[in-house]
Amino acid sequence: MNTKAMDVEQAYDAAYDNISSEGCYSRAVAAAWKLGGVEVYNSNDDGNNSTYSFAPTRTFEFDDASSVQVTYGGVFIILPNEPY
């Protein structure tokens, strides 16, 4: 079963061979919004940066309990914490 986080990762990867990293990043962020993702982290908003990034690290959570981190260099699915 594909999660919404996986769909965002696929949006980045599908464009990887044809466009720049900036374009891949933009497609992944657009896919996250389109899939109803809620942005829970944006590195431009963390208060620790003295500079503003055109491609900040962003974390999205989805209603299917999946999460994804979108960076300029790639998309990373965040695995849920498993109880021991």
Instruction: Give tens-digit pLDDT for 5-62.
Output: 999 999 998 877 777 888 899 999 999 999 999 999 998 887 766 677 888 999 999 9
- pTM (2 decimals)? 0.86
Higher pLDDT, 34 or 79: 34
The three-state (H, E, C) secondary structure of the chain, written as one string = CCCHHHHHHHHHHHHCCCCCHHHHHHHHHHHHHHCCCEEEEEHHHCCCCCCCCCCCCEEEECCCCCEEEEECCEEEEECCCCCC
